[in-house]
Amino acid sequence: MNPAALKVNIPKLLPNAILILNTDAFKEKNLQLAKFEQNPINDDTLKDFQVFPVAITTLTREALKDAALSVKEKDRCKNFFALGMTYWMFTRPLDVTSEWIKQKFKSKPEIIEANITALNAGYNYAFSTEIFTTSFKISEASKKKGTYRNITGNDATALGLIAAAKKAGKELFLGSYPITPASEILHALSKYRNYDVKTFQAEDEIAGIGAAIGASFAGDVAVTTTSGPGLSLKSEFMGLAFMLELPLVIVNVQRGGPSTGLPTKTEQSDLLQAMYGRNGEAPIPIIAAKSPADCFRAAYEAVEVAFKYTTPVILLSDGYIGNGAEPWLIPNPENLPEIDITYADNAETFYPYERNPKTLARTLAIPGMAGFEHRIGGLEKEDITGNLSQDPENHQLMTELRAKKVEKVNDFAKEPEFHGEDEGDLLLLSWGSTYGVIYTALKELKTEKKVSWCHLRWVNPLPKCLGGKISNFKKVLIPEVNAGQLIKLVREKYLVDAVGFNRVKGQPLSSHEFMEDIESHLKGL
Amino acid sequence: MNPAALKVNIPKLLPNAILILNTDAFKEKNLQLAKFEQNPINDDTLKDFQVFPVAITTLTREALKDAALSVKEKDRCKNFFALGMTYWMFTRPLDVTSEWIKQKFKSKPEIIEANITALNAGYNYAFSTEIFTTSFKISEASKKKGTYRNITGNDATALGLIAAAKKAGKELFLGSYPITPASEILHALSKYRNYDVKTFQAEDEIAGIGAAIGASFAGDVAVTTTSGPGLSLKSEFMGLAFMLELPLVIVNVQRGGPSTGLPTKTEQSDLLQAMYGRNGEAPIPIIAAKSPADCFRAAYEAVEVAFKYTTPVILLSDGYIGNGAEPWLIPNPENLPEIDITYADNAETFYPYERNPKTLARTLAIPGMAGFEHRIGGLEKEDITGNLSQDPENHQLMTELRAKKVEKVNDFAKEPEFHGEDEGDLLLLSWGSTYGVIYTALKELKTEKKVSWCHLRWVNPLPKCLGGKISNFKKVLIPEVNAGQLIKLVREKYLVDAVGFNRVKGQPLSSHEFMEDIESHLKGL
Amino acid sequence: MSDMIDKQGKLKLEIKDFASDQDPRWCPGCGDYAVLSQMKKILPNLGTPKENIVFVSGIGCSSRFPYYVDVFGLHGIHGRAPVIASGIKLANPNLKVFVFTGDGDGLSIGGNHFIHLCRRNIDITVVLFNNRIYGLTKGQYSPTSLKGQITKSSPYGTIENAFNPVQMALASGASFVARSIDRNPKHLAKVLDAASRHKGTSFVEIYQNCVIFNDGTFSKYTDSDKKKDNIIEMNPGEPYIFGANNDKVLNWNGFDFDIEDYDTTKEDSYLRHDERHGHASMEFMLASMSQNNNLPTPIGIFRHENDATYDDNLINQINEVKMKKGVGNLKDLLFSGNTWTVE
Amino acid sequence: MSDMIDKQGKLKLEIKDFASDQDPRWCPGCGDYAVLSQMKKILPNLGTPKENIVFVSGIGCSSRFPYYVDVFGLHGIHGRAPVIASGIKLANPNLKVFVFTGDGDGLSIGGNHFIHLCRRNIDITVVLFNNRIYGLTKGQYSPTSLKGQITKSSPYGTIENAFNPVQMALASGASFVARSIDRNPKHLAKVLDAASRHKGTSFVEIYQNCVIFNDGTFSKYTDSDKKKDNIIEMNPGEPYIFGANNDKVLNWNGFDFDIEDYDTTKEDSYLRHDERHGHASMEFMLASMSQNNNLPTPIGIFRHENDATYDDNLINQINEVKMKKGVGNLKDLLFSGNTWTVE
Ligand SMILES: Cc1ncc(C[n+]2csc(CCOP(=O)(O)OP(=O)(O)O)c2C)c(N)n1
Ligand SMILES: Cc1ncc(C[n+]2csc(CCOP(=O)(O)OP(=O)(O)O)c2C)c(N)n1
Ligand code: SF4
Ligand code: SF4
Ligand SMILES: [Mg+2]
Ligand SMILES: [Mg+2]
């Protein structure tokens, strides 16, 4: 679209629509012609859309630099360049269109070649730059009163972290290494220097979490952000953070795996890695965001728990909600829960591994506090004193204490979201970004059977009430964008013959397919 | 012990006894006096024992260099140095003995100080050098005919790997980074250059597995060895190996965790990490060794499966069996199973992700094979051709194929070891190094109830027969040196209310405690 | 294969023999294309059969290189290509192994593997595409980004100093170290060819333009009006002449270079480039110039040394041990030590 | 605290104030003890209150250092101390942060973090105990082990070249680079003191004897009959004099050092050490000498530069953005962008 076309079309666009803009066309002159005062790419005009500014003219000319065509003819191939990009976006093959071009311009082989080249170049450009990641429209019309804005999950995560740090009266430290689809959190946070946000782009994921652990030790609200393969690299340091019992938030924006996998596609397949991906007995609380806007609250809550229980916390998001946007009912900062961080106050009686009897959090003291000098590390340590200890009974005790502490998070966590009656035929049990699809499916579901839905916020620990809930239903169905991960935790813990609805296609679940699956289960009940 | 004392005592020593030898005393002269022809530390005389040669005299003198004592007096403190070492070994505190010394030498403060210094120095020396790792006597008197030798688990692993490579007619490549208690496998293998063993001490664990993957791609039998925190670091590369579907053996000699934990102590707490410690859906076969000598067979089998199914395989050992020794019935190499490795043979029809319909192994071709040039990598790839693919259905298909392949290992694996009747009251289900303790406990168990025992060799996939077996018992008891890991897999899969006997003390299970636990369970049945 | 051997029994390969079935997928105008075409040009003449060539890479735009040449290829994970390549070379020392990497892949996450590879001097050629940016992940700064550079992750400018990749390679012990530019195809081909033929770790830094996220970062070395003043081509045996009209020359004062007007009558007094001299002082001085605004930036070969390679050392050690102890026999191995027999 | 301030309001600390309740647990005779006592000696005089000092380490014998001094300490994981230290320093730039590491911890597994720390020039002091061996894990070779060295993992001798840690630090951009020896306590104290006071990344390599697994590896630098011929102490403003009777001197020939007899009458013609000169040629030349058997090995300070630190740059950038955009207010932040209201 050029500026004039844009101007005309803005009102017709759905929020969150995908806009591919040719930046070459957004020059002074065209802007004036279209009566834009400022370049809309750079101001807030397009905030509600997903904007992809691309220098289409330049890129097309470059792609065709060896073609024996006039500039004008070359420029006509622009549309095929743009088409190539959208083909990549929707993973469509190029051959059909190539064939069509060949038919259409049969008599002009140079034009055929140029158009095909442009088509390919557009496709390659999109491929090369990982510019489009899975991000579909998610929009749940909300009627609650209040002020709204559109927000992507990654931006909401960034804001949730800043809000938590501000409420805690702390500076925010992010140690991170770029990786699709998590980089935008780093990008967003790097803008907020005036909010006392320190972003440290580390040499790798290991350094990112390591620096965050250091910052936590020294008293910042500390965070590290990544995606799947990056989480793998953080495994060893996650074990250290667990052992040090330091507050830390680890954000994992999941993508298609395994290995490099499908970096621009979405998946929920890092849950078990988050649960078990480190040596020894090292449970870590896991919270999952359900939608783009919800990333704000999830991030905020992750910080609360990290400090309340002196523990690393893993926040699971994914490419779908990280890049997707939806309207967000903006909270008034005054209504956000207070976060108070307490430090040891008596140097005489200070022991770093003395615990708060209620939360089992250990006693924190940070460098700069005179008289509280102490040393912590990754070797097993004695209860209370924190001195090194190889004592067998102490190791058993510490292992148990650390595990109990994670269970305690249930004292903090609210009951999970529950829709429907407390007992019935089918219970849908879900977590994370499947929320939107399930919501839609349930709305459309017509049945006489009793179907209820429980959507988890904390995946570790599983909520206390869950066992009771599950036992009140004939069948439990667990939809996940993976080969079955939450279902493993649930079957193991409650010994219930839950069934899964699992798709591993790099895409959100199809609500249509899902509906069908529910219906077939209901038939059998 | 000096040489003379050693000479006298050798016949009295139990096999695998711990010998701390003062190397300073093993000089020409003393050796001659004791009628040793060669220094027994360097030859095979002491092969049946765990020998720790330490320059006790030198170290004691050095520790006391500032003490105002004669050399003779200093040398008398040697015994306290040695005592300090054993205290570390058995994690005993030093204070009681320090008190005793103070009482005993009340009138001679310099002597008190010197002895306490020596005691501490011995303790520190042992601590510093990670010289003693958990390793207790494991010995199961075997009456089978044949030739035996004593062997530690780590040495047996090394030999198993060499044997497999030799039988496959391949060179053996080890990429590794030293870490207690796995380093001895690297040490052992580095001696066998004349067996075409290439050991590559890498800059870290990541490089260790990465080099092994490269070597596998180029046609070697490739292995990487490590312990807990090192396995964490290998997570990302394990995902790649899984995606590349290349044969690779990953040996993890477990130690006390989490984090740096208890590096010289034993634990079975990396099972879930081995199962799930990487991003995306990436199941890998896991085999566990049950005893020091068994490491040979387990390593051999790991190589067989890695090639038969073109997959990475994780071999779990631990500090207890890795360092412990037992008599090994040496197999005749001719009787070891053949390992044949087949490569693609027709360049025209070659596709790297075409599969053997029986094993689902993919078709291998290695550099140097003219006409088979191809490229593989960590991005999702198209079925059969191996070209990059983002197609949703293809991703689903490939995810399923990769998982199915792991299940196929059951076609290869023998039924797990089973003792007792096929049905009854209590089924003990176990894996890895608990074997010895359970064996002993069961021998001593007196009960009228029917108790059977199933000891797994392959932990992933779980054997096909297991579900049937489990359902024939009133109760299933799973002993593990962790907080409950195999039990999670079993409960999840078979929905059986198995109970655990779990100890996390950095030590093998106490067979006494375990017996009591069995008895209390039997009472309730 | 047979049709690739000519009548004299010599290997005869052509560019088209290296064509892969995958189309390059870089952005139009990306500097990576230039490297690809030069690489394809030199490969047929190396005297190595196709099937003995292996391309290894990490992750990044540049790391997609292996897909576009029909040799064996392994597209690894981010930063780890050097270790995969090391394993390949040690498994089969007959192979010619290349690593293609970027400034992020090779120097940020992969920095450690890179320096250890150089230290070990394994016979591998590392080609680093330095575009001073993370291309694939859409434009964050890299360890070679210039201080102050504004990128997606540094909206107010980076506050980090840049690595000097050539100095890193020299300090860590690579035996061949060179630099070239995407826009100078002839020079590029020459340097890549020399690197490929070198035995030991050879390292080539290529200044490569990312048209999308860091366009023009090397323009002072490529724009026709500036490049002659800002670039100096180091040629063995020649003085360090540069300038729009080849009118300037570097003169060594014992600690530093002074820029002088080039004067043919003084020809004999000028220091001449010698990539095989082995003087740490000169190598590092030349390497430091790219970060010195008062001096031109050198391209060409900084170091070219013959040093024992790790792979040769390993094979030699294996052969020595075989000589001393005999070729290992499995039965002897298993039955060694104190054995006893139960009958 | 109050009792640590003297009448003039100045901080007054003593060695005993730094005594920790843990006894050092190194082997008797280990070189680590020497470093500990010198470190304890200089700490009281740095002018930094105890509670503002943080010791960070990885894993290894040397990495147990933090337990033995009563300041804040973090005993991290293997190789990663530099990143933990970076986070600590950036969280609270008032802290004085030290990293204690070994040749394995700092240069093998941790090599990448080390060079990136140097590049960023974060104000942290790195003390590397180079004993050319893995001590804690019982004696495998390290990246500084000498080629041919026989160790647990190289029974036939290593086939790897050793890193030159000083060159690595220089090449990666550390602003203070020095070397000392465990057996020369005075020199050690002097160098550690200068490093601790330096603003920016300071790096000190210490040759440290591991009596158990690599005893005597530095004997030619410590044995009284050899050391004077093999070690040269670099002192600012002084010529490079060495030898049993201070009878030899290094003379710079423009590319290399020549060894000459020291002649007081030529005093003026000798090159004098200047750690602040900033000539890449000299710095790297001096650094290369430890790997050159024909020249003595220098100890002392190789580079001592004032350069903006990352931590200062970060704080400055934060302040600048605050100046330009105003101190951030949470409400404004949340309600920014296109908002709409549902009533
Ligand atoms: C473990 C891991 N971390 C991060 C990424 C994301 N990532 C892919 S390429 C890249 C950097 C690419 O930069 P460079 O190496 O300079 O290559 P270029 O694209 O510029 O050629 C990053 C951060 C990844 N794939 N894997
Ligand atoms: C991830 C990981 N890998 C390996 C180890 C084992 N390890 C501990 S210290 C060490 C090397 C110690 O050498 P160095 O850093 O030189 O310290 P030194 O003991 O010689 O002072 C190794 C390999 C570990 N603890 N963690
Ligand atoms: S993003 Fe830059 S480096 Fe990557 S393909 Fe495009 S132009 Fe090349
Ligand atoms: S093993 Fe070596 S480095 Fe470690 S404490 Fe003992 S002497 Fe020191
Ligand atoms: Mg780049
Ligand atoms: Mg060391």
- Residues with pLDDT less than 70, chain D: 1-7, 9
| Closest ligand to Cα C59 | 1
pLDDT, average across residues A81-95: 76
Of B142, B237, B370, the CB nearest to C1: B370
Q: CA-CA distance, D168 to A228, in Å (whole number)?
A: 32
Choose between C124 and A444: higher pLDDT: C124
Of A121, A187, A193, the CB nearest to C152: A187
Q: State whether residue B236 sits within 8 Å of chain C by CB.
A: yes
Chain C's closest residue to B213, CA to CA, is C84
CA of C156 to the centre of ligand 1 (A): 22
Listed range (B86-95, B376-385, B508-517, C142-151) with the worst mean pLDDT: B86-95
* CA dihedral sign, ordered D268, D272, D277, D282: positive
Interface subset of A 451-470, CB within 8 angstroms of C? none
Residue B22: the pLDDT is 83
- DSSP-derived secondary structure letter, A379: B
- In sequence order, what are the beta bridge partners of A225? A176, A251
| Closest ligand to Cα C130 | 5
Of A202, A240, A374, the CB nearest to D77: A240
Is the previous residue joined to A181 through a cis bond, with omega within 30 degrees of 0? Answer: yes
The 10 Å Cβ neighbour count of residue C294 is: 8
Q: CA-CA distance, A49 to A16, in Å (whole number)?
A: 4
Share of chain D above pLDDT 90, in %: 90
Q: CA-CA distance, C143 to C165, in Å (whole number)?
A: 9
Amino acid at residue number D237:
G
Chain A's closest residue to C103, CA to CA, is A203
Min Cα distance B263 → chain A (Å) is: 8
Tokens of C19: 């064509």
Q: CA-CA distance, B328 to A172, in Å (whole number)?
A: 58
Is the previous residue joined to C24 through a cis bond, with omega within 30 degrees of 0? Answer: no
Per residue, the 3-state secondary structure of B355-370, as one string, reads ECCCCCCECCCCCCCC
Tell me the range of B16-25, B330-339, D267-276 where mean pLDDT is highest.
Answer: B330-339
Among candidate residues C97, C92, C91, the one with its CA nearest the CA of residue C71? C97
For B475-524, what is each residue's pLDDT tens digit? 999 999 999 999 999 999 999 999 999 999 999 999 889 999 999 999 98
Amino acid at residue number B242:
F
Residue B168 has pLDDT above 70, yes or no: yes
Amino acid at residue number A307:
F
Phi first, then psi, for residue A10 (nearest 5°) are: -45, -50
Amino acid at residue number D304:
H
Cα dist from C160 to C5, C110, D168, D314, whole Å = 53, 18, 18, 10
CA atoms within 13 A on the CB side of B333: 18
Among candidate residues C206, C201, C171, C175, the one with its CA nearest the CA of residue C191? C206
CA of B242 to the centre of ligand 2 (A): 28
Q: CA-CA distance, B246 to B217, in Å (whole number)?
A: 7
CATH annotation of C2-217+305-315: 3.40.50.970
Task: Confirm if A272 and A119 have CB atoms less than 8 A apart.
Answer: no
Min Cα distance B64 → chain D (Å) is: 9
Res. B48 pLDDT band, cuts 50 70 90 = low
Phi first, then psi, for residue A197 (nearest 5°) are: -100, 125
Q: CA-CA distance, C53 to C65, in Å (whole number)?
A: 14
Cα dist from B67 to B64, B74, B77, B99, B118, whole Å = 5, 8, 12, 20, 11
CATH of B417-523, one of 3.40.50.2300, 3.50.50.60, 3.40.50.300, 3.40.50.920: 3.40.50.920
Residue A140 has pLDDT above 60, yes or no: no
Residue B314: the pLDDT is 98
Non-local CB neighbours of D131 within 8 Å, separated by 6+ positions: D31, D62, D102, D103, D142, D207, D208, D209, D210, D213, D214, D217
Fold topology of A149-335: Rossmann fold (3.40.50)
Non-local CB neighbours of A50 within 8 Å, separated by 6+ positions: A16, A17, A18, A19, A135, A323, A325
CA of D133 to the centre of ligand 6 (A): 4
| Closest ligand to Cα D109 | 2
- In sequence order, what are the beta bridge partners of A198? A173
Choose between A59 and B484: higher pLDDT: B484
Non-local CB neighbours of C240 within 8 Å, separated by 6+ positions: C232, C234, C249, C250, C257, C270, C271, C273, C298
Phi first, then psi, for residue B51 (nearest 5°) are: -105, 130
Chain D residues inside the 8 Å CB shell of C170: 171
- Chains C and D: how many Cβ contacts under 8 Å? 119
Could you state, in order of their start, the residue ranges of all structural domains in chain C? 2-217+305-315
For A11-45, what is each residue's pLDDT tens digit? 666 655 677 888 888 777 777 777 777 777 666 66
Cα dist from B40 to B46, B54, D34, whole Å = 7, 14, 36
Tokens of B219: 């046609």
pLDDT, average across residues A314-329: 96
Q: CA-CA distance, B337 to C50, in Å (whole number)?
A: 36
Q: CA-CA distance, D60 to D99, in Å (whole number)?
A: 13
Min Cα distance D243 → chain C (Å) is: 24
D249's enclosing H/E stretch is strand D248-252
**CA-proximal residue: ligand 4, atom 5 (nearest):** D26
- Chains A and D: how many Cβ contacts under 8 Å? 207
How many helices and strands (H and E) does chain B possess? 19, 17
* CA dihedral sign, ordered A253, A254, A258, A262: negative
The region that residue A53 occupies, defined by phi over 0 for left and psi between -120 and 50 for alpha, beta otherwise, is beta
CA of B100 to the centre of ligand 5 (A): 67
Query: Do A506 and B395 make contact, defined as CB atoms within 8 angstroms?
Result: yes
Task: Confirm if A186 and A176 have CB atoms less than 8 A apart.
Answer: yes
Q: State whether residue A305 sits within 8 Å of chain D by CB.
A: no
Among candidate residues D92, C190, B349, C301, the one with its CA nearest the CA of residue A173? D92
Cα dist from A112 to A109, A121, D105, D138, whole Å = 5, 14, 60, 69
Instruction: Report whether residue D142 contacts ligand 2, using a CB cutoff of 6 Å.
Output: yes
Q: CA-CA distance, B459 to B266, in Å (whole number)?
A: 19
CA of A89 to the centre of ligand 5 (A): 23
What DSSP letter does each residue of C219-252 carry, written as one string? HHHHSTTTHHHHEEEE-TTSB-EESTTS-EEEEE
- Exposed, middle or buried: residue C208 (CB in 10 Å: 0-12, 13-18, 19+)? buried
The mean pLDDT value of chain C amounts to 95
Cα dist from D332 to A87, A325, C98, whole Å = 39, 20, 53
Non-local CB neighbours of C39 within 8 Å, separated by 6+ positions: C65, C69, C127, C192
- Cα angle B172-B294-B277, degrees, rounded to a multiple of 5: 70
Residue B134: the pLDDT is 53
C55's enclosing H/E stretch is strand C53-57
Residue B135: the pLDDT is 47
Min Cα distance A390 → chain C (Å) is: 33
Q: State whether residue C141 sits within 8 Å of chain A by CB.
A: yes
Residue B312 has pLDDT above 80, yes or no: yes
Residue A200 has pLDDT above 50, yes or no: yes
* CA dihedral sign, ordered B117, B120, B122, B126: negative
Residue B293 has pLDDT above 80, yes or no: yes
Instruction: Report whether residue C61 contacts ligand 1, using a CB cutoff of 6 Å.
Output: yes
Of B275, B491, B504, the CB nearest to A396: B504
Instruction: Report whether residue A38 contacts ligand 3, using a CB cutoff of 6 Å.
Output: no
Tokens of A351: 């022991």
Chain B residues inside the 8 Å CB shell of D136: 128-130
- DSSP-derived secondary structure letter, A331: P
Q: State whether residue B210 sits within 8 Å of chain C by CB.
A: yes
Q: CA-CA distance, A217 to D76, in Å (whole number)?
A: 12
CA of A187 to the centre of ligand 3 (A): 19
- In sequence order, what are the beta bridge partners of A314? A250, A286
Residue B464: the pLDDT is 96
Which of D55, D90, D113 best probes binding to A when mutated, by most A CB atoms within 10 angstroms? D90
Chain D residues inside the 8 Å CB shell of C172: 163, 168, 171
Residue A47: the pLDDT is 62
Residue A58: the pLDDT is 85
- DSSP-derived secondary structure letter, B178: -
Of D29, D77, D79, the CB nearest to B260: D77
Among candidate residues D109, D169, D175, D172, the one with its CA nearest the CA of residue D290? D169
Residue C309 has pLDDT above 90, yes or no: yes
Share of chain A above pLDDT 70, in %: 93
pLDDT, average across residues C209-231: 96
The alpha carbon of residue C285 and the mean position of all alpha carbons in its chain are separated, in whole angstroms, by: 19
Chain A residues inside the 8 Å CB shell of D22: 387
Q: CA-CA distance, B318 to B153, in Å (whole number)?
A: 9
Strands of the sheet containing C96-102, edge to edge, are B375-377, C72-75, C53-57, C96-102, C124-130, C202-207, C176-181, C297-304, C231-234
- DSSP-derived secondary structure letter, A432: G
What DSSP letter does each residue of D64-75 carry, written as one string? GGGGGBSSEEEE
Could you state, in order of their start, the residue ranges of all structural domains in chain A? 3-129, 149-335, 347-411, 417-523
Complex-level ipTM: 0.93
Tokens of A323: 């890049």
Residue A94: the pLDDT is 79
